[in-house]
Amino acid sequence: MTPAMTGKRVDRRWLSEAVRRIEADYNRSADTHLIRVDLPRYPGIVLYLKDESSHPTGSLKHRLARSLFLYALCNEWIGPETTVIESSSGSTAVSEAYFAKMLGLRFIAVVPATTAKPKLDAIRFHGGEIHMVDDPRTVYAVSHRLAAETGGHYLDQFTYAERATDWRGNNNIAESIFAQMAEEEHPCPSWIVCGAGTGGTSATIGRFIRYCRHDTKLCVADPVHSVFHRHFEDRSVVALPEGCASRIEGIGRPRVEPSFVPSVIDRMIAVEDADSIGAMRALSDRLGRRVGGSTGTNLWACAQIVEEMAAAGETGSIVTLLCDGGDRYGCTYYDDAWLDDRGVAWTGAAARMTQFLG
């Protein structure tokens, strides 16, 4: 039974031990790298990639999962017998399964039936259970129902991402980026570019920039089939027409999520799926290792901003996120036949990005 439902208190020794295990895991971990990418065609402008693929569970969702567990634990929403539930298209559930196992808790991921097999394998690898739904729009309701039936706790990343993270510091992704930029020629980036799935990362970065009074602007790169950039232009738009879905895993949503905070975003750039895939391929060739699709979306938006900066005669730095590696997309984004079947014509965009990267 979830302690919040029964009104029972959580045993404080168990709670202390649970928090200690998560903090100890953090204490054993190194920070993620900030990779410098020189752009020979754009003198005086440098691109940086915050490499979130190097977390123990392979993506920026490792940070989110840690924050969501600590938030739930310190609210006494999770006790030693609590089943933990999440609605996730993959990466969040992989990271949460890792933390649930660390605490000895049962974990159930509610995923759309279309979720790629390597992600399901990774969830099961960390001891998580899978609950599949045919209609992706039902994941929220099904998660609530499972929580009620098992007396468990629904972590609800889409609601709590923006508030579970310590946005003023505590080595959140923004604080880490600014610390790692300190010795560069342009330590204060002109722009930081990221995507939005829950919206938690953009909320954290946008608030941190304002709190630290940096001049940096925040751009969110969004797939064309996502509601976020439409909502940014017109706050009355809160959902996409049925059947419209982002093909870039991890980012772009059909409904405006509660964790998406448009007021701290300076600009949004809509990116075609084929351009995201082309940019992803070009960057993978440049780095000598595969990156995920949302990293391609970010790079496409960065190229647009860099070209604008160059045209205006500006110099400076621009930072974006390498959100996850490409190993979970071998049978999809890195399979030419898979892309052909779906009509994703990416080669032109890849050639353009190869040129951009010099």
Ligand X SMILES: *Cc1c(COP(=O)(O)O)cnc(C)c1O
- Residues near ligand X, by CB under 6 A: 59-61, 91, 161, 195-201, 250-251, 292, 294, 323-324
Q: Decide: 216 and 188 in contact? Cβ < 8 Å.
A: yes
C-beta of 2 vs 91, nearer to ligand X: 91
Q: In the complex, what is the shortest distance from the CB of residue 30 to ligand X, in angstroms, rounded to a whole number?
A: 20
95/317 with CB nearer ligand X: 95
Q: How far, in Å, CA of 281 to CA of 344, rounded? A: 13
At its nearest, how many Å lie between ligand X and the CB of residue 74?
Answer: 21
Please state the closest distance from residue 292 (CB atom) to ligand X, in A.
Answer: 5
Select 15 or 224, whichever has its Cβ closest to ligand X: 224
Q: What minimum distance in Å lies between the beta carbon of 91 and ligand X? A: 4
Give whichever of 10 and 119 is closer to ligand X, judged by the CB atom.
Answer: 119
Instruction: Residue 59: count other Cβ atoms within 10 Å of its Cβ.
Output: 25
Q: Which is nearer to ligand X, 171 or 355 (CB)?
A: 171
DSSP-assigned letters across all residues of 153-200: EE--HHHHHHHHS-TT-TT-HHHHHHHHTTTSSS-S-SEEEE--SSSH
Q: What are phi and psi of 76, to 5 degrees?
A: 55, 40
Q: How far is the CB of 254 from ligand X (least distance, A)?
A: 15
* Element spanning 73, H or E: helix 61-74
- 122 vs 131: CA distance, rounded Å: 14
Q: To the nearest whole angstrom, how small is the minimum distance from the Cβ of residue 264 to ligand X?
A: 13
Taking CB atoms, the residue at the shortest distance from ligand X is 250
Closest residue by Cα to residue 94 from 59, 133, 140: 59
CB of 190 within 8 A of CB of 217? yes
> By C-beta, is 42 or 228 nearer to ligand X?
228
